Chain A
Amino acid sequence: MISRYFSQNQLKGLVKTGDVILPGTDTSPSFSDTGSICHIDRMAKFLSPDDLSGLQLLMGIFAFTPKWVITLVLKLCSQDRFLPGFPGAGLRMLEIGVKGAVFSPYYSNLTAPDYTGRKVHEIIGWNPKIFVKEAKDPQPVPVNRDNPSPEAVLQIYARARAVQPDIREWGLKKRLEFISSLKAVILKNRKYILDRVQEDTGKSRFDAITAEIFGVLDFLDYLEKNAAKYLSDRNVSTPFALMGKKSRVYFEPLGTALLISPWNYPFYQAIVPICQAFITGNAVVFKPSSATPLKGLVEELLDKAGFRPGWVQVVYGRGSDLGNALVDGKPDKIFFIGSQGVGKNIMARAARHLIPLELELGGKDPMVVFADVNIQRAAAGAIWGAFTTTGQSCTSVERLFVHQDIYETFKQVLVAETQKLTQATDKDGNTDIGAITTRTQVETIARQVADAKEKGATFLTNEDWNGESVFVPPMVVEGVTPDMLIHQEENFGPILPVYSFASEAEALALANDPEFGLSASVWSKDLVKAERVARQIYTGNVSINNVMLTEGNHALPFGGVQKSGFGRYKGEFGFYAFANIKAVLIDKDSKKMEANWFPYTREKYRLFDRLTAALYAPGRLLPLVKGAYWGLRLESCVAKLAKKGRQK
């Protein structure tokens, strides 16, 4: 339960007090049994500010007060005959306030939605009836979010816009309570979530828990700890020439965000962008991939966490059917994760309405291994980087460059270790890799494999794959040449081409892809060299002596260059993806005129020129002193002009 007016502690105090006043009997439920606390905001909203803050304070204290003490306080309150004057009035006020807060929802028959016990009104025999003849106002038709028509899409956006001010009003601190609550809900339901994710993706249990549960929880944890830091109003410096004024930055919501996610990490790519957009105060329209819709799961969890209806709307359907309508609904921001082709379409469509967007597209990520590495470790890294989630990560290792000095040894380890991988959609976490999620992707992989075989590439493992099973086995390939599809296209499957190189310069030339630039990894004992190479690779993320690990730290930004997309999400910079970063300059009201306002006069021009020359001359102290001198002269000239106006 999240309240707009009470902190979690104060709610605890309120429930405890509620149970002192209404402990329940053999017939009646206790205050906490009914869950009527859920409705406390309906009342708190209308309390006078004084009464509300009094109640908040008291409940904050009662949260840490044993029940018998609360009982004693309430008993004392009722001794009104002996408590005249001010203290008596205060205690009676306390009693009425507290009892009112508890009795009102309880005896108004309000309960938690999942309360199944006997209702209070039934118990106390309260059953007045009223037979209203006129029909009630027609209930609004529920919005269809399952393959919605273009009109329904507009309704979805209308809903989002209608609730967005409410999200904004809750404020950052309160929104974080929803994040914490969601974190708890996900943790509690993780088994169920994993089952659902595996059902839709076919990935292995272990792949699922690391990325989809651990990753999500870690992100929410990061939000909890950092959102306030990055999204609170910020004071920034004001230059000397604007002395006396203040400069501030507000981070405000943009409005409604459209988020479109792919099928490779359907849960992670749902919760992370949703929460990133929500925490800044945006309403969300989220479209999962039609291949892995996890139907109803996100809504169910958000609902359990207390998110209000309409804050986050999940829309189901194929991108090809819905994409245009979703963009034409004119969200205030689009955030797309997926393929290059679809990214282009969305961007073109968004351009019609000038909707800002961020694209996280595919990659063809290189891994560069120098000769001085621990071969066992680097090979294990390559295998995990290439085959985790059966290669269906946008940051999978798709091109492995190994220094020629260790190439053969490295290759042997690589092949031997790859052959040991186990594959299934398991339930106990005892298997390495799972299935390819979509049939289309299996076909793409099959096409690339056939093409490579035809053009003479050597398959060092699993060359006998039939090209049909969704359990595409991990394949290490040698002898890949630039004319092969596997060299040019994103593979998004468990295929790992290995190349050798002779020098740092050659490695760089190979690693810098002409098209993509999402992530890369550089492996060497020599950290100076590794960082040198890292800087030279034109890409969005680099792991050194590790693989796909920038994503493991939610304080780091994520995003690509070139055709891998643009924009950054996660980390400090991610907070700005969904924010209207508003600049505010605060001056005082006064009689003072500004030097740069009209009228312009020759004398003012002369002084302004002197001020400019003085202020921006090299040096530290002298410019300030001179600047102050000319500034004062300019100011008195401005003051004179203000009084007398331009002298003809």
Chain B
Amino acid sequence: MKQRDLSRVFDYVFVGAGISGPFIAKDLCAKGADCLMLEAGRQYTRKTYPDNGLDGTSQMYWAGGLELNHDSRIAFLRPKVVGGGSVVNQALVDRFDDDALDSWKQVSGISDFNTDAMAPWYEAAESEIEIQEIPSQFQNDNAKIFDRGFKKLGFKNAPLRRAQSNCRLEEGNCCIECLNGCRLGSKQSTPETVLKNALENGLTLVPETEVMQIKVLSGGDIRLSGLDGKGLQVNYKARNLVLSAGAIGNTRLLLNSGFGRKNSNIGKGFFCHPQYMSFGIYKEKINSHLGAFQAFKSDDQGFRKEGFKLENVYAGPESIALLVPGFGAAHHRYMEKLDHFACIEVCTRDITPGQIKVNRKGKALIRKMRNKEDLNRYQKGQKVIEDIFTSTGAKEIIHGRLGIGLHLMGCCALGTDPATSVVNPEFRLHSQANIFCADSSVFPNAPGINPSLTIMALSKKAAAQILRSVA
């Protein structure tokens, strides 16, 4: 930013340019608000996304790739890039069902959590992006195994809904490549959609700037201080703050800025849908990485009741290598057969809340236990995967060595009661009315469903409420 901008007081400053931030900013900027968005990660374009796993993971995630929970059994992937999760995720978008919304209503005391009241917000969110299902002719062999297994075992599955516009699969594109950012521009990441629009409407975006501290000044304005790409300190001022740095990002920032003293719920109630990948090794080549690498999800009410779902997924070889147990020649042997791997993942709806704290250096510590029931859910899911693989002729089955946390949720729970929550139904902090938050951190519990569409919907709702309160 230019020199003269330094004393500027913005209407809204956003910490984090992931999914929620750009969704809210788009609507505020359209109404002429003076908005600033600070993002720790780099800004890429379709042309500059990394084209290999090493650069992809190290450049686009916090801590160079993985963060671990307290007992190093769950690895978290936390996006750090302009566009956040929407750039690196699998772009699966699902609305919450009655079950998820009901449980939110109960925990939060917010009656609006029901399918009817949420529907307009889902529609508003869906209108910002294109959503497609993978046509059956583009299902790859990994998807077909998933489908065949489900049919054989009598479980119900459904096609996946992906936020994508034009993958040109007929030309032979392989969507696994888009996990480092979609070079086709098909994935409906925020930089391709709402963020682009917000920038056109005057949003100031400053990438490679990590916000370290926020302070409420005596007049009510908020001062943010952070470190820019060169490690130099920068300060910004705004009348309102929107926290959109994700569950861990927001929590870390609030705790490091002393907000924990005003509300002891900050950091409590961390969920992550622990996911476990399993691989079936087949005699024939499966080539799970080719084409549309995902097409199905489980849609079985039985699974839903049992608290897990199965997904048709895959990952890059450097990630799979970490999941395949062991090392040495035996490990090589597995990897040499990689094109014979099929892959299914069980994603569990976790019930034991974790907690995020910060240490003296300000680093986030993630405490995430799994109780008997959590493990039970995972084992049940794994059993079904084993059955699918066996029934479709797998010669060998390997279970991934680590749990993976991709859906990082909670720690700033929504709720009507300040004694049990952090963010009120107007998406304002109970303890500070001009700090807003509507991203993954406001989830009061684990829905067991892909979170991103709901983050978009909540952000839409928050933007509308902010605009209403201004008017």
Contacts and interface: CB of A to CB of B under 8 A. Distances in A.
Interface in A75-97: 78, 80, 84-85, 88-90, 92-93, 96
Contact of B70 (A28, A89, A105): A89
A126 B54 contact: no
Contacts of B328: 20-21, 23, 71
Contacts of B316: 107-108
Contacts of A71: 328
Interface string A46-79: 1110110000000000000000000100100010
B464 interface: no
Contact of A48 (B47, B63, B173): B63
Nearest to B326: A78
Interface string A94-131: 00100110011111111000000000110111111111
A628 to B, nearest CB: 40
Interface stretch (A37-45, A187-195, A576-584, A602-610): A37-45
B176 to A, nearest CB: 5
Contacts of B53: 104, 107-108
B57 interface: yes
B100 interface: no
A35 to B, nearest CB: 14
A50 B363 CA distance: 10
A126 B71 contact: no
Interface string A129-167: 111111011000000000000000000000000000000
Contact of A92 (B73, B168, B176, B290): B73
A48 B64 CA distance: 7
Given A105-B54, A108-B318, A132 B332 contact: no
A132 B71 contact: no
Interface string B27-42: 0000000000000000
Interface in B300-349: 316-318, 320-322, 325-329, 331-333, 335-336, 338-339
B72 A88 contact: yes
Nearest to B72: A92
B290 A46 contact: no
A325 to B, nearest CB: 32
Given A110-B54, A130-B177, A96 B322 contact: yes
Contacts of B68: 89, 92-93, 96
Interface string B159-186: 0000000001001111011100001100
A320 interface: no
A109 B66 CA distance: 20
A24 interface: yes
> On chain B, which size bracket covers the interface?
35 or more
Contacts of A39: 54
A27 interface: yes
Contacts of B110: none
A104 B57 contact: yes
B260 interface: no
A99 B322 contact: yes
Contacts of B189: none
A47 B68 CA distance: 13
A46 B64 contact: yes
Interface residues of A, number: 56
B73 A80 contact: yes
Contact of A25 (B52, B289, B329): B329
A84 B370 CA distance: 13
* Residue of B53, B64, B173, B287 ringed by the most chain A CB atoms within 10 A: B64
A22 interface: yes
Contact of B339 (A21, A90, A124): A124
Contacts of A42: 54-55, 58
A107 B334 CA distance: 13
Contact of A96 (B47, B55, B66): B66
Contacts of A127: 289
Contacts of B47: 132, 134, 136-137
Contacts of B55: 42, 108
Contacts of B321: 99, 103, 106-107
A103 B332 CA distance: 11
Q: Which of A28, A46, A104, A121 has the most CB of B within 10 A?
A: A104
Interface in B361-399: 363
Nearest to A93: B72
A121 B322 contact: no
Question: Which one of A27, A78, A107, A109 has the greatest number of beta carbons of chain B within 10 Å?
Answer: A107
B177 A124 contact: no
B227 interface: no
B173 A103 contact: no
A436 B174 CA distance: 65
B59 A46 contact: yes
Given A42-B55, A45-B58, A126 B338 contact: yes
Contacts of B401: 78
Nearest to B68: A93
A20 B184 CA distance: 39
Contacts of B72: 88-90, 92-93, 96
B184 A132 contact: yes
Contact of B183 (A47, A120, A130): A130
B49 to A, nearest CB: 10
A130 B178 CA distance: 9
A602 to B, nearest CB: 43
B327 to A, nearest CB: 4
B332 A23 contact: yes
Contacts of A106: 318, 321
Nearest to A29: B332
A96 B333 contact: no
B379 to A, nearest CB: 14
B285 interface: yes
B65 interface: yes
A100 B65 contact: yes
A47 B64 CA distance: 4
Given A88-B72, A125-B338, A131 B171 contact: yes
B46 interface: yes
Nearest to A40: B54
Given A74-B327, A110-B52, A104 B65 contact: yes
Contact of A129 (B57, B66, B172, B333): B172
Contact of A125 (B54, B172, B174, B285): B285
B402 interface: yes
A552 B229 CA distance: 47
B173 A20 contact: no
Nearest to A86: B71
A43 B58 contact: yes
B75 interface: yes
Contacts of B64: 43-48, 51
Contacts of A85: 71
A125 B58 contact: no
Contacts of A107: 53, 316-318, 320-321, 335
A110 B335 CA distance: 16
A21 B332 CA distance: 9
Interface string B44-85: 001110001111011100111110101111010000000000
A134 B46 CA distance: 9
Contact of A132 (B58, B183, B287, B289): B183
Given A78-B326, A100-B322, A103-B322, A128 B177 contact: yes
Given A47-B63, A96-B322, A88 B71 contact: yes
Nearest to A51: B63
A42 B318 CA distance: 15
Contact of B327 (A21, A47, A126): A21
17 contacts: A21-B328, A25-B332, A27-B332, A48-B363, A78-B325, A78-B326, A104-B53, A104-B57, A107-B316, A107-B317, A108-B55, A110-B52, A123-B336, A129-B174, A130-B173, A132-B47, A137-B47
Given A20-B328, A51-B63, 8 more contacts: A22-B327, A23-B328, A43-B64, A84-B71, A104-B318, A108-B317, A128-B289, A137-B48
Q: Which 7 A-B pairs have the closest CB atoms?
A: A125-B339, A128-B174, A46-B64, A92-B72, A108-B54, A107-B318, A103-B321
